[in-house]
Amino acid sequence: MCEKKIHDGLQDVLACKSSICRIEMIDGKAILEYRGYDIHELAQHSTFEEVAYLLLFGELPTKSELEAFSEELKELRELPPQIIGLLTHLSPFSHPMVVLRTAISYLGTMDKHIHHKSHEKSLQKAKSLIAKFPTIVAYFHRIRSGQNLVHPSDELSHAANFLYMLHGVEPTKTEAKAMDLDLVLHADHELNASTFAARIAASTLADIYACVVAATGTLMGPLHGGAAQKVMEMLREIAVPWRAEEYVKMKLERGERIMGFGHRVYRGVVDPRTIELRALAEKLAKEKEPKWFEISRAVEEAVYKYKGLFPNVDFYSASVYANLGIPDDLFINIFAISRISGWTAHIIEQYENNRLIRPRAFYVGEAGRKYVPIDQRGD
C-alpha cells in the first residue's frame, strides 16, 4: 500500500451514499439540508417531531401523519420499571451519558425481537428510542438529585415534555420553543463521528441498540458532542466578558484548543446551525440571564481575531442550555436526545443498503521479527 492513499481522520473521504443529510459549500457559504429541506426553513417552521418524521420516513408528514407520529411517541415515552430500577441503582455520580448508554443496552435485553431488522421493526425500535431518551435523562437527573419522578405528560410536545420531566414545572412558551429549536438543529449531520460509529456497527448487522450504544459512546468525547459541556466550563472560568480576549489569547499561546470552535467540514465557512443557535441564545439572553451570551460573543470575536475560526454547533448551545436551567453535565445528553433521530435514520439506511465497513491501516510497525522464547529474553 502506498502512503499517499492515507486520509488521516478520514478527512474528505466519501464513505457511503446517503439521502438523509446534505452538506455542501456553495460560493463560500455552507448549505445544510435534511432530506433536501434547508435547515433555516426547518428551524423557522418545523418542530422536532416533524423533523424526526422527515429523517425516518424521508418526507415531511401531512397534518394527520404528524399527529399520529406525535401520539405514538407520547405512548412510548414511559420507561419499563426495570429501567427505572437500573437508574436508581447506578451511582448518582456517574456521568449521565454513561447512564444513558447503559440504559439503552438494558432496553435491548428487554426487546424479544432485538435481532429483527425489517424496515417496519427497525422503525418501531427507532420511535421507541426517540421517545424514551428524554425520559431516561430526566428520570436519572431527578433520581440522582433526590427528587420525585415527574412522569411524561400527554399534553406536551417532545421538547416541552422533556423540560417538564426535568424541572417538574411546565416550561414557558419561549423555553419550550427554544428547546424544540435546539433539537431541530442537532437532529442530524451526515457522517459525524457518532453517526459513523452507528453505521459501522450497523454494517456488521449488529442490533439497533448496539449501534446506538456505539454512537452514544462516540458522541461523549470532548472533540464531538462533549464540547458543549467544556464550553460552559470555559464561560464560567472567564466569568465576565472583558476577560474573554485575554483568556483566549493565553489559551492559544499555550497551544490549547478553544472548545466549541473549528469543524472538520465547515473550514473557513460558518456552520449554518451556529447562525440559528446564536440568534436563539441572544433571544433567551434578553429574557433571562444575559451574561453567558455576552461572554460567548466576546469569546467568538477573540477566537476569530487570533485564530480565524468560527464557532461550531456546540458553542452557543452552552448558553442556550444554561438559560434553560439545564445542568452542565446534561448538555451532551440533550445532543443525544436530538441526534437519536438521525442515528436511527442512518442505521436503517445502512441496514437496507449494506456493505461491511472495513477500511485498511497503513502498517508502520516493525515487520517479520523473529520470535524469542520468554526464557531467552532476559529481564
Residues labelled as active-site residues: 263, 314
Pick from 6, 110, 223, 240 the residue near ligand ACO by CB under 6 A.
223
Return the residue nearest ligand ACO (CB atom): 262
Residue type at 379 in one-letter notation? D
Please choose, out of 12-20, 40-48, 234-242, 311-319, the segment that lies near ligand ACO by the rule CB under 6 A: 311-319
CB nearer to ligand ACO: give 14 or 374. 14
CB nearer to ligand ACO: give 77 or 199. 199
Residue type at 296 in one-letter notation? S
Instruction: Find the binding residues for ligand ACO in span 144-163 (CB under 6 A).
Output: none
Can you tell me whether residue 261 is helix, strand or coil?
Answer: strand
* Binding status of residue 249 toward ligand ACO by CB under 6 A: no
Say if residues 319 and 235 touch (Cβ distance below 8 Å): yes
Q: What are phi and psi of 32, to 5 degrees?
A: -130, 125
Please choose, out of 21-29, 77-85, 200-208, 257-265, the segment that lies near ligand ACO by the rule CB under 6 A: 257-265
Shortest gap between Cβ of 274 and ligand ACO (angstroms)?
Answer: 10
Angle at CA of residue 300, ends 39 and 42, nearest 5°: 10
The CA distance from 70 to 366, in Å, is 57
Please choose, out of 148-156, 260-268, 284-292, 319-327, the segment that lies near ligand ACO by the rule CB under 6 A: 260-268
Shortest gap between Cβ of 273 and ligand ACO (angstroms)?
Answer: 9
* Binding status of residue 200 toward ligand ACO by CB under 6 A: no
CB nearer to ligand ACO: give 52 or 231. 231
CB nearer to ligand ACO: give 99 or 277. 277
* Binding status of residue 312 toward ligand ACO by CB under 6 A: yes
The CA distance from 182 to 163, in Å, is 13
Residue given cell 465557512 in the structure block: 269
Shortest gap between Cβ of 221 and ligand ACO (angstroms)?
Answer: 9
Specify which residues 30 forms β-bridges with. 25
Q: What's the sign of the alpha-carbon dihedral 360, 364, 368, 369?
A: negative
Terminal alpha carbon distance of the chain: 37
Cell numbers standing for residue 86:
437500573
Q: How many residues bind ligand ACO (CB under 6 A)?
A: 19
Cell numbers standing for residue 58:
424521508
- 264: how many CB neighbours lie within 10 A of its CB? 14
Say if residues 367 and 11 touch (Cβ distance below 8 Å): no
CB nearer to ligand ACO: give 131 or 185. 185
Pick from 139, 261, 316, 343 the residue near ligand ACO by CB under 6 A.
261
Cell numbers standing for residue 124:
418501531
Pick from 40, 224, 283, 291 the residue near ligand ACO by CB under 6 A.
224
* Binding status of residue 259 toward ligand ACO by CB under 6 A: yes
Q: Are strands 29-34 and 21-26 parallel, antiparallel or unpaired?
A: antiparallel
Q: What is each CA distance from 241 to 229, 260, 264, 298, in whole angstroms? A: 19, 17, 28, 6
CB nearer to ligand ACO: give 143 or 299. 299
Shortest gap between Cβ of 42 and ligand ACO (angstroms)?
Answer: 18
Shortest gap between Cβ of 255 and ligand ACO (angstroms)?
Answer: 8
Say if residues 87 and 147 touch (Cβ distance below 8 Å): no
* Binding status of residue 250 toward ligand ACO by CB under 6 A: no
* Binding status of residue 225 toward ligand ACO by CB under 6 A: yes
Q: In the complex, which residues of this chain contact ligand ACO (CB under 6 A)?
A: 9, 192, 223-225, 227, 257-264, 307, 309, 312-314
